[in-house]
Each structure stands twice: as C-alpha cells, then as structure tokens.
Amino acid sequence: MWSFLFVRMLQSLATVAVAVVLIFVAIRLLPGNPALARFGQHSVPARVTAEMAHQGWDRPILAQLIDLPGELLRGDLGVSFFHGDQVAERLTETIPATLELSIAAILLAVPLGICAGVASALWRGSWPDYAAMTFALLGVSVPVFFLGICLMTIFTSMPTSGRVAPTMISQFHTDFFLCEAIFTGRFALALDAVRHLLLPAVALATIPAAVISRITRSSMLEVLSSDYLRTAKAKGATLWRIVWRHALPNASVPIVNIAGFQVGMLLSGAVLTETVFNWPGMGRYLVTAVREQDYAVVQGGALVIAAMFVTANLLLDIAYLWLDPRIRTQS
C-alpha cells in the first residue's frame, strides 16, 4: 500500500510539473505580449521592445523555461508585471477567499446531492425521484451567473457582494474572515460573513450537488437490486439501516470519485460565481491575469491550482483504499 501511495505521489508531482510547463509555454504563445498590454493604447514601439528585453521575455521560450525550476525551488513565484505586487502574497489573499467559498459550497453540495440521489433511488419512478432529477437537471443547466442574479432578486435582504460589509473589512487581520471571526469570538462579524457567504455558496453548490445526486442515484439503483440487500430486507432490517449501513457504503466508490473531482474543480476557482458576487477569489484573479498576459501570475496560479487538484485526487485515492478492501488488496 505504501509503495502504491509513493507511486501516486510521484505521478502527482509529474502532473503538476507538466501542467506548469504547458501553461508557461501556452501563455507565451498567445499573440501580443505583456508590455503591449500594459502600455495599452499608448504603446511606443521602442519602449515596448526595451521592456520586453529588460524582463528577459524576448529570449526563446526554452531559455526562459530553464530559469523556472530554480525560481520555483527558491519559493519565488515572481512579481505581477501588471500590478507590481508579489504573486505569492496575492495568492495568500485570494486562496483563503476561494477556500472559504468552496468549502461552504462542498458542505452544501455533498449532503444535498447524496440525500437527493438516495431518495430518488429509493422511490424510483415516484415524485421524490422526479423532483430530485428535475433539480439535478436544473442544477447542471442553469448558468451560474443567472442563478446568482435570481438568488439576489429572491433574497432581497441578503448582501449581494463582497465577503463582509465594506466598513467592517478593516477589523480582520487574516484573509480567513469567517474562521477568524468565529475563533476570536466576534459573532456579529461571523454572522455578517456567513450572510455574505450564503448566496454565492448556494450558487456554486448547484452543479456539484446535481452531478453528485445523479451519480448517487445510479449507483444506489445498482446496489439496491443486489441479493444481499434482499436478504437484509428478509431479515427485517429497517429502511434506514439498509440504506445507510448496507447500500450506501457499497455504492460509495463512484460517489466519492465524482465528489472528489468536483471538490478539485471548486478549489481551482469559481470564476463566474466570484464575478457575480464580487468575491475576491483566485479564479477572478487568474482570469484577469490571463487577459493581461501577466506571466508570473498565470504560472503561479497554474502551479497552485494543479497542486490543489492533484492533492484532491491523491486524497481521493486514499479514500478508495479505505472504502474498498479490494483496491487495498490489489495495490
């Protein structure tokens, strides 16, 4: 088992390296360059050329790529050319915002998706099934920005943007607003942070909840028709026990698989939700950087996202080992 984990970790590192190199090359292959983007409509050819040379971006891509491992090993993600600040510093501000939002969305999506899927499998062909699957269809098809604006229209007393009220932001010393407010016992601030978090988290949770509910349904249907469950029923086990003790654990591998994938997706940033709700997360930061061809930000962001994604997948593999003895034995 340990060798399996070791191999998976090596694979994860390789995946991160490949992702960073691909992004490094792709952003440089885009037409235009960062100096042009910054000078905007006031570009002076000589100055643009001089700036590209000054930054070393006029060298062949391979020559630039050779410098990258050294910089990364030194922990230097570089400075944003467009905004002038340290990429690592900005990432430490945006990652907590993304984490709070995505964790809130996961906490909503996973239980909701599993419950809806289980209910729909248990009462297949009746109204709970239709209701859950309609919800799932809507969840995957309604665009997030539309849903966000609908939520704002319905819940008129809920705040529409930001992580806390504008005048309260100075009371925080870290970027984990909600956690900080809870741990320091400032419950008025915590309540305000939760109120700001709720609508974006609901908007963000819809797609994963819908996907999880569909997978849970199909996986549960497969398990529910198996012989051992018929035996359990014959022995007089309660519905509750059949579902939660016997059926769901056996149906859980595909559910964990898809839930883990969705977690990875959420952690890597939710651009649309962040834009609609003015949430200062990583997705928004990176999309702006791609538009501005801000090399250091895009590379740093790609590194962090790839790392988060492969970590989520690694944890998923460990979860498989724990859930399914067969995988444990094979590995």
Partner 1 sequence: MRSLLFCLIVSTFLGCGGPAVPSNILIYGRGDDADRLDPIHTDIGESVTVMCNIYDTLVTYDDETLELVPSLAESWSTSDDGLEWTFHLRKGVTFHDGTPLDADAVLFSLERLTVPMHPFVFDQVIPYVQSFEAIESVTAVDPLTVKVRLKRPFAAFLTTMAMFPASIVSPTAVKKYEGEFWKHPVGTGPFQFDSWNVNQQLTLLSFDDHWRGRPEIDGVIFLPVGESAVRVKQLLRGEIDIADNLPPAEIDSLAKNPHVIVQEKAGMNTGYLTMNNDKAPLDDQRIREAIWCAIDRDQLIKSAYSGHATKAVTLVPPTLWGSHTDLTDREYDPEKAKQLLAAAAADGVPTPIRLQLFVMTDPRPYMQQPRQTAIFIKDSLAKVGIETEIVTNENSQHFRRMTRGEHQLGLAGWTADMPDPDNFLYTLLDLDNINDVGGNNMSRYRNQKVHDLLAQAKVEMNQETRAELYRAAQEQIFADAPLVPLVHTSVRNVQSDAVSGYLLHPSSLNRLRLSKLAK
Q: How far is the CB of 94 from partner 1 (least distance, A)?
A: 8
Q: How far is the CB of 85 from partner 1 (least distance, A)?
A: 7
- Write the CA distances from 211 to 53, 112, 140, 144, 218, integer angstroms: 48, 11, 7, 15, 11
The tokens for 165 are: 């009220």
CA 76 to CA 269: how far, in whole Å?
A: 22
Q: Which residues bind to partner 1, rule: CB under 8 A?
A: 31-32, 35-45, 47-51, 54, 82-85, 90, 93-94, 145, 149, 152-153, 155-163, 165-170, 188, 191-192, 195-196, 275-278, 280, 284-285, 291-292
- Number of helices (H), then strands (E), belonging to the chain: the values are 16, 0
Q: How far is the CB of 203 from partner 1 (least distance, A)?
A: 12
CA 161 to CA 152: how far, in whole Å?
A: 10
CA 17 to CA 184: how far, in whole Å?
A: 39
Q: How far is the CB of 166 from partner 1 (least distance, A)?
A: 5
CA 287 to CA 295: how far, in whole Å?
A: 12
Q: How far is the CB of 29 from partner 1 (least distance, A)?
A: 13
- Write the CA distances from 129 to 113, 119, 125, 212, 221, integer angstroms: 13, 7, 6, 14, 12
- Which one, 138 or 158, has the nearer CB to partner 1? 158
- Which one, 81 or 309, has the nearer CB to partner 1? 81
